Amino acid sequence: MNLITVSNGRFRDNGSVFKIVGANNYYMAFTTPAMRAAVIAAAKIIGLNVLRSPAFLDAPWRGACFQSWDPATNRAEVNTGENGLQRLDHLIADAEQAGIRLLLPLVNHWPDFGGMDQYVSWFGAASREDFYRHPGIREAYKSYVSQILNRENTVTGRLYKDEPSILAWELANEPRCATPAVLIEWVLEMSRWIKQNDRSHLLAVGDEGHITEPFLQIPEIDFGTFHLYPEAWKKRDPIAFGLRWIAQHLEAGRNVGKPMLLEEYGITSKTDRNRIYSTWLRAIEEQDGAGDLAWMLASTDDETGEPYPDYDGFTFYSAAGIPSIYEHVIRFRHAQTPPRDENAGDRESSQLRGIDEAQQQKFHDP
């Protein structure tokens, strides 16, 4: 497995164009081995080549936590144990074994799983936007990120900054600020700092696409990201809005010569979802987009033996639930890779078709 690079506005794998067809999953970096394996297996069956999951967990989740405040040292301390970063070690190793790349955000704008609010609480700051301004918080973020980049994986023996299954780091998941100049300055500083510490991996902001061009102009930012949730954004015509949104962002990327990745999208309507996804995904294909990642893929919850709950209405579990994405995989990804045994894929997909879609929580619930 090679490190993914960027040149001439495209992702590259050992020089060849690398088109992304993937999905998000917010829990697989810190869940049990069985639940992690189930998500990776579902991704393989569908034919996905990238999964996006947080490399942060600043508050406990089912007994796991990546970092927490230590009153004795008066600082946030990283948990390197079996219920801490060793779980991320296994995700990185398992993804490599499966031939899947990882897109890893380093902090959450939203309070789910700790996020910026947790840092604000630790330092007694006034508001979420102090995350970008407070000197102590900025240093705490750098400290955590430094320990992530320089961590030696207990499974592979490599430092994270050398792991080939990591496609890219993201500064944050959906960062926002009432004063855009403050956020842009933060991105400038943190992107330069991360690139000084990890020159191998690609880097993105992880934003929704509302401040695209200023971010793309930053040399250390290798590609742009944008998200698409027309229902949550109160757009009357999801198809028309999505087509405009996609075209605008792909054009912005072409203007700067950097890939633009639709790294989150979702429709809650089970009736309309497949038709809308099909239209959006064909637009990305026709406009030579870099790729896309749906929100979100889940599988079995080993606490209940049932499908992991669909808390926000976007979750799918198999190709049967999103045939538009499966067809997109065949058209978009398989054009650049050797043909696979389609009958084998159908056989494997049938194993998951009995799973009914339930409800699950996003790691950025707006």
Identify the CATH number of the domain in which residue 263 sits: 3.20.20.80
322 domain-assigned: yes
Structure tokens at 19: 């088109």
63 domain-assigned: no
Question: For residue range 216-231, what is the model confidence (pLDDT) as tens digits?
Answer: 999 999 999 999 999 9
26 domain-assigned: yes
Catalytic residues: 174, 264
Q: 20-24 and 50-52 as β-strands: parallel, antiparallel, unpaired?
A: parallel
**What does the pLDDT read at residue 334?**
62
C-beta of residue 131 within 8 angstroms of C-beta of residue 120: yes
Residue 91 to residues 181, 198, 314: CA-CA distances in angstroms? 35, 20, 23
Instruction: Dihedral sign for Cα 206, 329, 283, 295, please.
Output: negative
Q: Which residues of 323-345 are buried (b: 16+ CB within 10 A; e: fewer)?
A: ebbbbbbeebbeeeeeeeeeeeb
Which residues, given as ranges, of the chain have pLDDT below 50?
337-366
341 domain-assigned: yes
Question: For residue range 39-87, what is the model confidence (pLDDT) as tens digits?
Answer: 999 999 999 999 999 999 999 999 999 999 999 999 999 999 999 999 9
89 domain-assigned: yes
d(C-alpha 227, C-alpha 246), whole Å: 9
Question: How many CA atoms, within 13 angstroms, populate the side-chain half-sphere of residue 184?
Answer: 13
68 phi and psi, to 5 degrees?
A: -150, 165
**What does the pLDDT read at residue 348?**
35
**What does the pLDDT read at residue 175?**
98
Structure tokens at 30: 């810190």
C-beta of residue 23 within 8 angstroms of C-beta of residue 85: no
Q: 291-294 and 224-228 as β-strands: parallel, antiparallel, unpaired?
A: unpaired
**Domain encompassing residue 232:** 20-54+84-104+166-190+198-350
Q: Residue 196 gets which letter from DSSP?
A: H
Task: Give CA 268 to chain center in angstroms.
Answer: 19
Structure tokens at 226: 């944008």
Q: How many domains does the chain have?
A: 1
**What does the pLDDT read at residue 69?**
97
74 domain-assigned: no
Tell me the H-state helices in the chain. 33-46, 85-98, 115-122, 130-133, 135-149, 180-197, 212-216, 238-256, 273-286, 323-328, 342-350
115 domain-assigned: no
Structure tokens at 102: 């990882």
- Size (the chain), residues: 366
- Rounded to the nearest 10 degrees, the angle between the axes of helix 135-149 and helix 180-197 is 30
**What does the pLDDT read at residue 332?**
80
241 domain-assigned: yes
- One DSSP character per residue, 309-336 reads P-BSS--B-SGGG-HHHHHHIIIIITTS
**What does the pLDDT read at residue 347?**
37
